[in-house]
A = this chain, B = another copy of it.
Amino acid sequence: MSVAAPGAAVVVIGNEILSGRTRDANVQTIGAALAGIGIRLREVRVIEDRPPAIIETVNALRAQYAYVFTTGGIGPTHDDITTDCVGAAFGCEVRHDPAAVELLTRYYGATEATETRLRMARVPRGATLIDNPVSTAPGFRLENVFVLPGVPRILQAMLPGVLASLPGGPPIVSHTLTAWVRESDVAIELAAVQARYPALDLGSYPFTRDGRFGTSLVVRGNAAAAVAAAASEVADFLRQRGVEFSAEAP
């Protein structure tokens, strides 16, 4: 295992994603949000709701990346095993957090704050709670691992609090040029621009719309000026080739 590198990973704990029942939405949310504060999402693993899979994956990724975000499996039912698995991954006892118990008891009321519901107040010892402005049940952070729920609406509401706790950097920006050309017809020019800007990512994504072939050309990186310059070189060769295109800057 290598030393923690910059960048982040997401672990989606999700039988429902693997089975095809549900199409994941959280990876896109987290990827875009991290890019906004200059952190690159570098790997995602979608794994089964099984303790060995969760424990091994969390341990592998927390050693490899600066930040790890898990989604899913922190509710009150039998298939919610993420908290115990993250505790096991760190060798930390999982117990009822007094502050979380108080939050949930206030939210549900004393009689409705059942043993089942208070399971959602269990976190590993040493964890910091992550505020849940929608349904109270908190997430938590343990070292560089952030444990978040799977319900997209709740995850989205919790994310600003998480991002505010991270050291921000200049955002990763991208310019997209949507060009009415087959990608094979601009491959050589595009590779030449990529070669001149090795620190940026130039991506090429073909599509068809109304029976026409098109390609989204995406220039992406941390250095806004370089991104703008490379995008302008792409626009130049498209113009020279007489290709119709539209450009979308950040």
Answer whether residue A205 sits at the interface, using C-beta atoms and an 8 A cutoff: yes
9 nearest CB pairs, A to B: A20-B32, A20-B31, A78-B191, A44-B46, A76-B184, A77-B204, A77-B187, A23-B28, A116-B187
Q: A31 and B44: CB pair below 8 A?
A: no
Residue of B nearest to A201 (CB): B15
Q: Which of A43-84 contact B (CB under 8 A)?
A: 43-49, 53, 75-79
Answer whether residue A172 sits at the interface, using C-beta atoms and an 8 A cutoff: yes
Answer whether residue A220 sits at the interface, using C-beta atoms and an 8 A cutoff: yes
A-B contact pairs, 6 of them (CB 8 A): A21-B176, A23-B24, A27-B46, A43-B53, A77-B187, A78-B202
Answer whether residue A174 sits at the interface, using C-beta atoms and an 8 A cutoff: yes
Answer whether residue A29 sits at the interface, using C-beta atoms and an 8 A cutoff: yes
Q: Which of A12-36 contact B (CB under 8 A)?
A: 12, 15-25, 27-33, 35
Answer whether residue A41 sits at the interface, using C-beta atoms and an 8 A cutoff: yes
Answer whether residue A233 sits at the interface, using C-beta atoms and an 8 A cutoff: no
Interface residues of A (CB under 8 A from B): 12, 15-25, 27-33, 35, 40-49, 53, 75-79, 114, 116-117, 119-120, 150-151, 153, 172, 174, 176, 183-188, 190-191, 194, 201-208, 218, 220
Q: B151 and A78: CB pair below 8 A?
A: no
Q: A151 and B207: CB pair below 8 A?
A: yes
Chain B residues contacting A46 (CB-CB under 8 Å) are 27, 43-45
Q: B116 and A184: CB pair below 8 A?
A: yes
C-alpha gap A33/B19 in the complex (Å): 9
Q: A174 and B45: CB pair below 8 A?
A: no
Q: A75 and B174: CB pair below 8 A?
A: no
Chain B residues contacting A176 (CB-CB under 8 Å) are 21
C-alpha gap A186/B15 in the complex (Å): 20
Contact status of A18 and B45, CB under 8 A, knowing A76-B183, A183-B76 = no
